[in-house]
Amino acid sequence: MKITSVIEDQLAWDEKAHQGEPIVLSTRIRLARNIVNTPFPGWANTVQRKGLEEKVSKVLSGLEFMSEASHFAISDLSELERHVLIERHLISRELTEASEGASFWVSKDQGLVVMVNEEDHMRIQSVAMGFNFESTWKTINAFDDAIEACLDYAFSSEIGYLTACPTNLGTAMRASAMLHLPGLVMQEHMDKVVRMVNQLGLTVRGLFGEGSEATGSIFQISNQQTLGEDEESIIKRLVGVLEAIIEQEAHAREKLLEESPALIYDKIGRAYGILKNAHVISSEEAMSLLSLLRLAVDLGMLPEESRNQVDRHFIEMQPGHIQYTAQTEIEPGERDLYRAKQLRTAFADLADLSLKNGEKSA
Amino acid sequence: MKITSVIEDQLAWDEKAHQGEPIVLSTRIRLARNIVNTPFPGWANTVQRKGLEEKVSKVLSGLEFMSEASHFAISDLSELERHVLIERHLISRELTEASEGASFWVSKDQGLVVMVNEEDHMRIQSVAMGFNFESTWKTINAFDDAIEACLDYAFSSEIGYLTACPTNLGTAMRASAMLHLPGLVMQEHMDKVVRMVNQLGLTVRGLFGEGSEATGSIFQISNQQTLGEDEESIIKRLVGVLEAIIEQEAHAREKLLEESPALIYDKIGRAYGILKNAHVISSEEAMSLLSLLRLAVDLGMLPEESRNQVDRHFIEMQPGHIQYTAQTEIEPGERDLYRAKQLRTAFADLADLSLKNGEKSA
């Protein structure tokens, strides 16, 4: 399979179509795994890395989980393809910057990915749309067991899975959810939420990982600690906090709609009008506008069918995707023109906004 | 005729529908006239003012120009009706603040107005849509002659028409045009234009007269001097300057479209989308948005039929009109909601924006 097919496979999006709690965009779990008696990628030479890569790939290619999967060496990908895959959250920036021997496997529905020779020998990840830790954990746990049946993991009964970076020791698991919190942002309550989350040993990041700005009111919340608790306890604690945040977000929206409905309708109406008519849109503005359209779906002002389209565009409006779709490298200024055109086209047939009281907005 | 009919008479708008040079919204000439041996309104007592009012009204009611005209005493109008008439430019704020005996006559097509007992005994004005000094002058001159045939004007062969304020002595004429100059505003050339205009002895004001902000990129340009030149020379000089400004505006637009078409399309597209979808709009923002729609008509992005609708809304989005239409006094904050709703409704069926290259904007 070609990388272009992976990038352009809309089926993967549709199959993962959002269900359940609308505030949660996606659920993700990743496990770091290393093989015994083999140096970590950062300490290994090219021959060792390539040897590890072959060994792992041989195992993965034989697993039911990876039937119909695709496998790509990073060195075979263009700069732009790497950029797009990072924006898609399929692979990490670290993997694209890794030395010879770095590769990744991706299942047909793109729900399972194994990065080989990133910081650890293997970074296994499972992603699901919506709020879905149970099935995500079940899937990745079974996948991990299947791999472990064929490979000797570096594991200590005292400190758990051994990892290149000590912050991952223990479960070596990072569980996270992507939350859409426009209500808390508009109410200016996010500082308080971040403090609360941090105090509970969890981390808050933006849509594009560590240090990225929380554009589009999207926040990624994950466990910080990997030591001293088993996977299920970590997930249970994370889910508890997420549920509290979801409740706060719902409450913030209710309060906003009660106290200043016109303000919300105005923000959403303007976002709608601008997305359909602007000719210059930065990626940051696109995120804010899309965030408001997503809120409009939540509030029943746009049909539920629009949600998937909006969610896709959070990713497809990023600089890499814009250039990929344009099939040429374009300057940042021109990207804003191209992005606006893409959005005008994508949302040309968007349904009319309908207001709470049944009034149709023009 | 009731004042409500004058205010709501859409026929008056339609009959005055814009023709010719689109950069000029309207042409206006007003003459100050006083009757011999009668104190100016500011020096007269109530009996004298009422006597003058009766005398003038008797004459006007007999003139062909005023057949089917309406006549209103300021004291019979509510605060809100006065406010609306000022926003319509039918009468001046000074007239509404004048003492007993202040009234005005307005012709059926609202093109001719006589204010009685404002600063002078009579302020006669003629208005036409578009750039039309020739017919405006012809009309008001003939009307003035007709009045003069029945009343003795205070006139000196040395200093011309005698007026309450010495700045009006001479012709006692103020000729003005309302220009829409978004190109010069966007190019930040208006400071230069204002300096040039002032040096030529002309005055630049905003849409709502002396001291008002130039909202919606609309500027009123008029003669400053009334002494030492006859009416036709003043108008000729004014027209010469206006033609130069019109050329500069056209040039500014060409340059903007050549250098940064996307910027113009973006501004217009956003204005279009916001007008059709926002829920909170201040009168100042409404003016800017309407200004961009008007530019869209000029650029062929909206059909010519939309021009009259846009031009009307420059006036109808003002606070007095908003309250008048709402038929109740509403707080400034709620006015913004009401204004947005009016605009959404008014422009719900506005044609799609079409771009220069034939592409239809969403």
pLDDT at residue B68, rounded to an integer: 92
Residue B328 and residue B231 share a domain? no
pLDDT at residue A287, rounded to an integer: 93
Q: Is A232 helix (H, G, I), strand (E, B) or coil?
A: helix
Residue A150 and residue A57 share a domain? yes
Digit-coded pLDDT (tens) for B131-154: 999 999 999 999 999 999 999 999
Q: Is residue A150, in this structure, part of any structural domain at all?
A: yes
Question: Minimum mean pLDDT among A121-125, B15-19, B166-170, B352-356: which range?
Answer: B15-19
Question: Which of B279, B292, B354 to mutate to probe the A interface, most A CBs <10 Å?
Answer: B279
The number of distinct structural domains making up chain A is: 2
> How far is Cα A184 from Cα A121, in angstroms, rounded to an integer?
39
Nearest to A26 by CA among A121, A118, A129, A133: A129
**Are the C-beta atoms of A180 and A218 separated by less than 8 Å?**
yes
% residues pLDDT > 70 (chain A): 93
B304 is in which domain, residue-wise? 260-361
pLDDT at residue A358, rounded to an integer: 47
Domain stops at, among A220, A254, A288: A254
Tokens coding B220: 């009123």
Nearest CA in chain A to B353: A277
The pLDDT confidence band at residue B5, using thresholds 50, 70 and 90, is confident
Interface of B with A in 300-359 (CB under 8 A): 337, 340, 344-345, 347-348, 353
Tokens coding A57: 């790939």
Nearest to A13 by CA among A128, A125, A115, A92: A128
Kindly tell me if the per-residue pLDDT of A210 is higher than 60.
no
Q: Order of strands across the sheet with B103-106?
A: B70-73, B103-106, B112-116, B122-129, B24-33, B173-180, B218-223, B202-206
Q: Is A301 helix (H, G, I), strand (E, B) or coil?
A: coil
Average pLDDT over residues B321-341: 86
Digit-coded pLDDT (tens) for A12-61: 555 555 567 899 999 999 999 999 999 999 999 999 999 999 999 999 99
Residue A98 and residue A70 share a domain? yes
pLDDT at residue B10, rounded to an integer: 56
Nearest CA in chain B to A347: B362
Average pLDDT over residues A3-19: 63
Put simply, whether A233 touches B (Cβ < 8 Å) is no
Residue B178 and residue B67 share a domain? yes
pLDDT at residue A329, rounded to an integer: 74
CA–centroid distance for A331 within its chain:
26
Residue A229 CA: distances (Å) to CA of A237, A324, B266: 10, 42, 54
Alpha carbon of A261: minimum distance to chain B alpha carbons (Å): 9
Hey, which residues does B155 pair with through a beta bridge? B161
Nearest CA in chain A to B361: A277
- Out of B262, B277, B337, the one facing A273 most closely (by C-beta) is B277
pLDDT at residue B356, rounded to an integer: 58
Domain stops at, among B254, B275, B305: B254
Residue B90 CA: distances (Å) to CA of A310, B2, B112: 50, 15, 9
On average, the pLDDT of chain A sits at 90
Q: What is the 3-state secondary structure (H, E, C) of chain B?
A: CCHHHHHHCHHHHHHCCCCCCCCEEEEEEEEEECECCCCCCCCCCHHHHHHHHHHHHHHHHCCHHHCCCEEEEHHHCCHHHHHHHHHCCCCCHHHHCCCCCCEEEECCCCCEEEEECCCCCEEEEEEEECCCHHHHHHHHHHHHHHHHCCCCECEECCCEECCCCHHHCECCEEEEEEEECHHHHHCCCHHHHHHHHHHCCEEEEECCECCCCCHHHEEEEEECCCCCCCHHHHHHHHHHHHHHHHHHHHHHHHHHHHHCHHHHHHHHHHHHHHHHHCCCCCHHHHHHHHHHHHHHHHCCCCCCCHHHHHHHHHHHCCHHHHHHHHCCCCCHHHHHHHHHHHHHHHCCCCCCCECCCCCECC
Kindly tell me if the per-residue pLDDT of B189 is higher than 70.
yes
Put simply, whether B183 touches A (Cβ < 8 Å) is no
Chain A and chain B share a number of CB contacts under 8 A equal to 70
> How far is Cα A201 from Cα A196, in angstroms, rounded to an integer?
9
Nearest to B293 by CA among B276, B277, B281: B276
Average pLDDT over residues A231-250: 96
Digit-coded pLDDT (tens) for B305-329: 999 899 989 988 888 888 888 877 7
Eight-state DSSP code of residue A352: P
The one-letter amino acid at B235: I
> How far is Cα B193 from Cα B173, in angstroms, rounded to an integer?
23
Average pLDDT over residues A91-97: 95
Q: Is residue B351, in this structure, part of any structural domain at all?
A: yes
Kindly tell me if the per-residue pLDDT of A320 is higher than 80.
yes
Alpha carbon of B352: minimum distance to chain A alpha carbons (Å): 10
A233-237 LR contacts (CB < 8 Å, sep 24+): A234/A171, A234/A173, A234/A175, A235/A29, A235/A133, A235/A137, A235/A175, A237/A200, A237/A201
Digit-coded pLDDT (tens) for B241-273: 999 999 999 999 999 999 999 999 999 999 999
- Out of A263, A276, A345, the one facing B273 most closely (by C-beta) is A276
Digit-coded pLDDT (tens) for A113-138: 999 999 999 999 999 989 999 999 99
Domain stops at, among B254, B284, B316: B254
pLDDT at residue A209, rounded to an integer: 61
Residue A250 and residue A264 share a domain? no
pLDDT at residue A319, rounded to an integer: 85
Tokens coding A165: 């970076």
Q: Which residues of A touch B340 (CB under 8 A)?
A: 266
Average pLDDT over residues B59-85: 95
Q: Is the complex ipTM higher than 0.90?
A: no
Put simply, whether A234 touches B (Cβ < 8 Å) is no
**Are the C-beta atoms of A182 and A290 separated by less than 8 Å?**
no
Element (H, E) at A7: helix A3-8
Contact A270 B263 (CB under 8 A): no
> What angle, rounded to 10 degrees, do the helices at B306-316 and B283-298 form?
160
Q: Is residue A65, in this structure, part of any structural domain at all?
A: yes
Kindly tell me if the per-residue pLDDT of A262 is higher than 80.
yes
Element (H, E) at A45: none
- Out of A277, A347, A362, the one facing B353 most closely (by C-beta) is A277
Put simply, whether B289 touches A (Cβ < 8 Å) is no
Kindly tell me if the per-residue pLDDT of B88 is higher than 70.
yes
- Out of A266, A340, A362, the one facing B348 most closely (by C-beta) is A362
The pLDDT confidence band at residue B360, using thresholds 50, 70 and 90, is very low
pTM to 2 decimal places: 0.88
Kindly tell me if the per-residue pLDDT of B300 is higher than 80.
yes
Put simply, whether B361 touches A (Cβ < 8 Å) is yes
Q: Is residue B8, in this structure, part of any structural domain at all?
A: no
Contact A345 B362 (CB under 8 A): yes
Q: Is A153 helix (H, G, I), strand (E, B) or coil?
A: strand
pLDDT at residue B211, rounded to an integer: 53
pLDDT at residue B21, rounded to an integer: 84
Eight-state DSSP code of residue A216: G
Kindly tell me if the per-residue pLDDT of B214 is higher than 80.
no
% residues pLDDT > 70 (chain B): 93
Kindly tell me if the per-residue pLDDT of A362 is higher than 50.
no
Q: Which residues of A touch B274 (CB under 8 A)?
A: 269-270, 273-274
Residue A61 and residue A39 share a domain? yes
Nearest to B161 by CA among B350, B30, B275: B30
Put simply, whether B201 touches A (Cβ < 8 Å) is no
pLDDT at residue B313, rounded to an integer: 92
Residue A63 and residue A166 share a domain? yes
Residue A150 CA: distances (Å) to CA of A32, A117, B21: 16, 18, 82
Residue A311 and residue A247 share a domain? no
Q: Is residue A8, in this structure, part of any structural domain at all?
A: no
pLDDT at residue B298, rounded to an integer: 95
Q: Is A219 helix (H, G, I), strand (E, B) or coil?
A: strand
On average, the pLDDT of chain B sits at 90
Kindly tell me if the per-residue pLDDT of B213 is higher than 60.
no
Kindly tell me if the per-residue pLDDT of A360 is higher than 50.
no
What are the strands, taking DSSP E only, across A8-65?
24-33
CATH number of the domain that A87 lies in?
A: 3.30.590.10
Contact B269 A277 (CB under 8 A): yes
pLDDT at residue A361, rounded to an integer: 45
Put simply, whether B224 touches A (Cβ < 8 Å) is no
Contact B269 A263 (CB under 8 A): no
Q: Is residue B2, in this structure, part of any structural domain at all?
A: no
Residue B267 and residue B243 share a domain? no
The residue with greater pLDDT, A214 or B124, is: B124
pLDDT at residue B358, rounded to an integer: 47
Q: What are the DSSP calls for A141-152, one per residue?
A: HHHHHHHHTTS-
Contact B340 A273 (CB under 8 A): no
Residue B198 and residue B92 share a domain? yes
Digit-coded pLDDT (tens) for B23-34: 999 999 999 999
Q: Is residue A4, in this structure, part of any structural domain at all?
A: no
Residue A196 and residue A137 share a domain? yes
CB-count exposure of residue A312 (10 Å: 0-12, 13-18, 19+): middle
% residues pLDDT > 90 (chain B): 75
Q: Is residue A133, in this structure, part of any structural domain at all?
A: yes
**Are the C-beta atoms of B133 and B178 separated by less than 8 Å?**
no
Question: Minimum mean pLDDT among A84-93, A100-109, B18-27, B138-147: which range?
Answer: B18-27
Residue A318 and residue A172 share a domain? no
